Every structure is written in structure tokens, then in C-alpha cells.
Structure 1
Amino acid sequence: MALYRYFLLSLWIIVLAPRLVWRRITGRETAADLAERLGRGPRSVARGPVVWLHGASVGELVAARGIAKELLRRDPRLRLVVTANTATGREQAQGWGEARVDARLAPIDTRWALARFLAGWQPVALVTIENEIWPNRMAMAKARRVPVLVAGARMSARSARLWGRFPGIARQILGLIDFIAPQDDETAERLRRLGLPPRRIGARLNLKAAVQVAGPDPAEIAAFARALPRDDTILAASTHPGEEEILLTAFRKAREFRPELKLILAPRHPERGEQLALLASSAGQPVARRSRGDRPGPKTSVYLADTLGEMGLWYRLAAVTFVGGSLVPKGGHTPFEPAACGSAIIHGPHVANNAEAYRALAAARASAEVSDAGTLTAEMLRLLGNPEGRTNMVRRAQKALAGTGTGPEAVADFVARIGAMTGNRALETPARR
């Protein structure tokens, strides 16, 4: 830990502090944002126990929503302080509309910023989502006898090999964690090999499998469907830099065969909307933007869904979904949501973040893997041109993914574990729904 703190102090002086100052000067973050990252900022005056729930960004906090709802439902006194590393992640938590949730940017992992945050909020538990491991944060929580839990923990083979090169450090850091619910059996085994005691490893908890996609207003679907007919519409969901160029090239080629095709482009980070609008326009595609209140018209070929919290609408409008983060090495985003909404799945080769789910899809012939613009064009046309085959593919996907996920009972068990570790009997007993 001493070596980590020395490294982090050096990183703070050389990189992090100048970067935060630059973001403040250029207007990318406000003074209030900077205060939150330094452990300051307004705090709730309401009384009651506080659970600190942390997720890296949008995807993790979408997945964490089920845990948050179950915590709040079981104990009406409980409050949550939800933190994220990004402003869009914070906005995701703010969009939950829960009166007992305070959303913040996460404090940087330095002792002085964390000391302010912990003293101000005094959480009874720290719950982190997936693979957000911050040693100072966990050590300072442990020093205050605050249990540290990880929900839906994920460790790839590559990460396990890296941790395995430093076994002493791995055991020290894992020793700070009181309980882990792994996303899959492979993660559980890798954690055991790295020295995490089996008694601290719980049952599988795949939070993304348990996500329930909010159903949009039927009138909203009907209004969009006039300009975006489902059988002619493709969704590019949660895309990253480097993917949009490939997608737009493939879409342009597909429109040479089917000029009526439409593309909904939903970037992982909506603040990239202006950049993507220019990219699509320069590719010769008429663009409308959701963030500006635009509605797609007869001439719109690309509808830029640069907002948060509306993926349920876009999945239901598109017959086919390309799942982003998979043509570039980002690990691939969740296939559970498009499958649940009846949209056929296309993805690239980089799917390590949901490896078990994508293996099940491949075994069931329930998704299409592509590698470049040419193969993407071919799969777009194949799936859109075969409604019956597409419907069967979606059914196979739903069945295959049902065998890999964990239901609401796994979330309930995890919340009960929080209750047991904090002495909160209300959390140990399910509340009536």
C-alpha cells in the first residue's frame, strides 16, 4: 500500500492535478465538479444510514439500479450516495429520480480527498460494481470498519495474469474486500487462485442480465416509427471512437442496396454528439439529433440518439442492433438488453466483458459476429432481408441468455448480505412489494 500511495502521489502531482485544472479552465467541468472530485461538495442533511454505491460510468450504474432499488425498498430510512468516475455516470444516477439518492463524482483515490468524503457521508457500507478496485478507498473504509463488497465482479484472463505477476500485492488488495459476488464462474476461480478466501466469494451475480429495460411510452414509439420503420432500422448501441467510422461506411454501402434503411446512432458517451453529427454529415448522411429535440423526417438517414436513459426506446425501434465496444478493444457491451427488446444482435470480436453471454449466443447461432465494414454490411442486409429468420434468431438469443443470467433473487441475496454485514435487519428481510 505504501508503494501504491507513493505512485498515486506522484501521478497526482504530474498528471491528475494539471488535468483537473485544465478541464476546469476549458469549461469541461465546473468548480462544483472539481469540489466533488476532491471529496467536498454539498451533503444531504437527512438522517439515516448511508450506503456508498460506486460504478465507473453509465453502464455500471444502469446495472446497479436493481441493487439501489432493492436497498431503498427494504429500508425506508436508508439513503444512497452514488458515485461515478464520469459526469455522464453521475447523470445516469440523477436520472433515477429517487429522493433518497445523492449522485456525485467519485473522490479521487487519495487519502485526503477520501477522508473528507468519508467524514461527510459516514457510510455504513461500500458497494462497488464490477471491477472498480481502488486500494486507498477500500483501505480507508476498512479502517473505519465499513464493510467493502463488490457486486458482479469481473476479472478477465488477461487481468488475472497481470495480477498474478504481483501475488503479494494481489493478496493485500483482495484482503481489503469482505465479500464478492462474481459475474461468472471463471471470475470466481481466478479470484480464488489469487488468494481470495472462498468464504468471501458468493453466488454468481450478473447485474446486466438482471437489468429490466424500461418500456417507453407507446405513443412515443408510434411517433418515431413513422419515420423509422422497425424492419428498415438498425441501432448502433453504445458505440466508441473508431467504431462509428466503420458503422457509417457499412451503412452507406447497405443503403446502396436498400435506400430506405435508417440508422439510430447511440454513442456510449452522448457528449460526443457534435463530433458524431459532423462525422455523419461528412459521410453524406442527413442527420437529426435527439439532444436538440429533432424528430427524424423522411430524408433523415441517421438519427443521433445523443441522450441518456432512452435505450429502451431505441432497442424497440430497431429490428437489428449492433452492440458497441466490440469492433474496438473495449470488451463489448451487454447483449441482454437488445435481446430482451426483440432486436437481433450483431457484434464485433471484442466481447471479453460479457464472454459467457456471447459464447452462449454463438453456440445457439443467436448472434452475428463481424470484423469490418464489409462483413457488417453483409449482416445488416441479411438480417433485415429475412424477417422470419431474424425472429427465430431473437428467440434463440433470449433462450440462450436466460441460461447465463441471474434473476432478481441474486440481487435480493446480495442486499441481504449487505444487511448482515452492517447489522441492518431491514435489509436482511425482503420488504413487501
Structure 2
Amino acid sequence: MIYRAAAAILERGLRLRAGRGGQDALRERLALDRIGPADIWLHGASVGELTSARPVIAALAQTHRVLVTANSLTGRDMAAGWGLPARLAPLDVPGALARFLDQVRPRLQVTVEGEFWPLRSQALAGRAVPQVVIGARMSERSALRWRRLPRLIAPVLGRLAALSAQDAGSESRLRALGLPDGAVLPRLDLKLLTPAGITPPPPGAERDRTLLAASTHEGEEIAILDAWMRARGQHPGLRLILAIRHPQRGNEVASLLAGLGIAFQRRSAGGAGGAVLLADTLGEMDRWYAAAGICFVGGSLTDRGGHTPWEPAAHASAILHGPHVGNFTDAYAALDAAGGARQVDAGSLADQLARLAGDASAARRMGQTARAVLDDRAGDPAILIKRLRELAGTHG
């Protein structure tokens, strides 16, 4: 009652502001303009959430009318760029929700990752619209905050028709807060669906002999080049693709290569082959992953937190990485434990490169293991998509 009363007071003030002109975004969030109908209302906070859910959104859009909402202009505009109806989400205030739902008339509402709005939940339930959360995430810190507000969170979770958590910890915490057992769907890490959808390239001798140093930073290239030259002394056919993180460093890294007397081609100048290719362009990383059977992931020899291991895993590349992987601690731990990745430092990188370059079968097995870990952690979206379509019913 307190929440609803406060929201109603807030809405009155916002409507006064919206009426003064020049408040298009606010009018959109108050649902004061015209909105077309949709079968499924899918909401994600912004670019990250919607991007992770794009494979699910695309599948639903094949069979139903989907309206995408976001809390940010960039998220809304990105979804519109996919060719889907998109707008800013209605605020969690009574009038805006009523106007929005009167026009859209959804048969299913889907939220990506987790925003729990009490009035939105209540309004949807009052119209018998099933509610689903996909890729749900609930940190320990967030769970602690919600435990102090059981009369808000428990009814919201109790009204969910289905929820697919991102990980076991989130699922457990959501259950403790009031998620019904019957609403739990198999876990799905939405951020891994896109890499899991990549078809790995076929194995081949040229790929076996190619090392990709992916997304390298200042201070890493010299160690990588030293290790590559030492490994190449044992395996003369070992090729290097040096894909620097920031292409604007191209001249700097080119000078480093020239200073070491290393012959190289430069991608920004049209190069595509040679013993060393300096990949100093944007938008071509998939090409380099596909070309390399061995991948060293940068940002991990120097303390940059590391970069994602899932792209090389998607391409079934054997993965090497440094000790600094704080941005993806759990991911690297799982890959290391399974044998799909190995941690190295500047001193051991050459030995590991030489071993993998000299044993193509071992490198291939390592890459296949990395891919298997990715597939297992991503989960199968087919069950989720089937359930969402069932809840949305036949396209009207």
C-alpha cells in the first residue's frame, strides 16, 4: 500500500513535467503515446541484457509478435535496429502500467536477468498475463537486501510462471526468497548462447600450426613474441596472429616487431598471411579465432582482468592464459579444471606453446574440451523457448 501510494504521487509529478514539452523519453516511460499490440512483451534493462538474450528474442519473433522494452535509450535503439518494435519500458507507477497494458495486451511478459517491480507484477497478474524471468541473476548482496523486504519480493516471485536462472547460486537464493519449485526451469547462461551457436571450424594442419594472441595489451606483446620465437625454434612452421586489443596501438606494435627484426604483414595495410600477421583492425576476431588452433588470451599476463575465454572455446581452440583473469575467474577455473585451458606466465609460455605445436592431437583435444565446457555451461535454449511459446499461446 505504501509503495503504491508513493508511486501514484510520483506519477502525478512526472505527468506535470511531461506536459511541459521536450520530454519525449518521459512521455514514453509514462505510456502517454500510442503503442501497438504484441503477443510477448520482453524487457531487458539495457544493451548487455538484450544482447545476451538475442538468440531467444529472435526465436520468439519467428512465431509471435514481440515488443522489446529497455530502461535505456541505447538498449531501445539497439533492439529497434534488429527490426523489432521497441520502446522505453513503462515506469512502475499505476497509470503508466495501465495505459501500456491496455494498448499492448500481451499474452506473456518476459524479463531478462532480473528486475523485480511490484506494481508491474501485480498489474500483469491482475490481467492473467504469465510472467517469466530468463537468465535470472541474484547476487548474495541483492538477496540480502531483498530479505529485508519479504512482503515485496515474495509475492513477485510467487506470481512467476517460470524462471530460468543463470547459475545454481542465483537459483538457490531465489528459491529462498519465495520462488515456487514448480516455476523452476533448467538453468541457462544467456551470455553464452551466442558463442555456443558458433560452428567450430574443421581441424586442419594449417590451423594446428597457428597461434592467435588475442586482445593483447601494452607490456604483453614482448613476452608473447619472445615465447613465439623460442617455440618456433623447435617448430619452424609455427605461425602467429597478433591481434592487439586497441588497433590505435598498431604503429607502436609494428615498431616493436621491426625492432626485433621480425618480418610481418599488417592487416590494416591489407596483409593476410606470412609467419606473423599484425591484426590491427576491428571486427575480424571471429576470422582469427577460426584460423588458430592455439589461442593465448590477452589481458592476463599484465593485470587487466583477462578477456573472455568463450570465443576461443566456441572455435575449439586450445586456450592459454596468464594469471590475471579476475574478470572471468569462474570461467577460467572451469576450463582449467576440465583441461580445456592452461595457465602460464611469461616464463612458461614458450614451453607450453612448443608442446602444443608439437602435438596437434593434444591441442585438438584441448580445444574440443573447451568447446564441451562452453556447451555444458550455456545450456540448451530449446526447452526454454518451447515453454515460452506455450505460455504465449498461438499467435493472434
TM-score bucket of the superposed structures, by smaller chain:
0.5 to 0.7
The Cα RMSD (Å) is: 4.8
Unaligned residue ranges in structure 1 (runs of 5+):
18-29, 218-228, 237-243, 266-275, 288-292, 428-433
1:320 aligns with 2:295: yes
Distance 2:127 2:61 in 1: 23
**Superposition map of 1:266-281 within 5 A:** 280=249
Give the one of 340, 359, 379 matched to 1:406.
379
Distance 2:31 2:352 in 1: 50
Instruction: Show the counterpart of 1:25.
Output: none
1:348 aligns with 2:325: yes
Instruction: Show the counterpart of 2:121.
Output: 138
Distance 1:338 1:404 in 2: 15
Instruction: Show the counterpart of 1:235.
Output: 214
TM-score computed with the length of structure 2 as normaliser: 0.66
Instruction: Show the counterpart of 1:82.
Output: 68
**Superposition map of 1:103-182 within 5 A:** 103-111=86-94, 114-182=97-165
Instruction: Show the counterpart of 2:219.
Output: 249
Is this contact kept in 2: 1:360–1:401, CA < 8 A? no
Question: How far 1:150 moved relative to its partner?
Answer: 0.5
1:184 aligns with 2:167: yes
1:263 aligns with 2:243: yes
**Superposition map of 1:388-399 within 5 A:** 388=360, 390-399=363-372
- Sequence identity percentage: 33
The 3-state SS of whatever aligns with 1:150 is: strand
- How many pairs are equivalent? 349
- Aligned residue identity for 1:249: G
Is this contact kept in 2: 1:384–1:390, CA < 8 A? no
**Superposition map of 1:195-234 within 5 A:** 195-211=178-194, 212-213=196-197, 231-234=210-213
- Aligned residue identity for 2:213: I
TM-score computed with the length of structure 1 as normaliser: 0.61
- Aligned residue identity for 2:336: A
Distance 2:23 2:268 in 1: 31
Instruction: Show the counterpart of 1:51.
Output: 40
TM-aligned CA distance change 1:408 to 1:255, over 3 Å: same
Question: How far 1:302 moved relative to its partner?
Answer: 5.6
Tell me whether 106-115 or 123-132 shows the greater mean CA deviation.
106-115
> C-alpha offsets along residues 290-310 of structure 1, whole Å, 9 cap, x if unaligned?
xxx9666589846353x6xx7
Instruction: Show the counterpart of 1:303.
Output: 280
Unaligned residue ranges in structure 2 (runs of 5+):
202-207, 230-239, 256-266
Distance 1:335 1:418 in 2: 35
Is this contact kept in 2: 1:183–1:206, CA < 8 A? yes
Question: How far 1:149 moved relative to its partner?
Answer: 0.5
Question: How far 1:180 moved relative to its partner?
Answer: 1.0
Is this contact kept in 2: 1:296–1:303, CA < 8 A? no
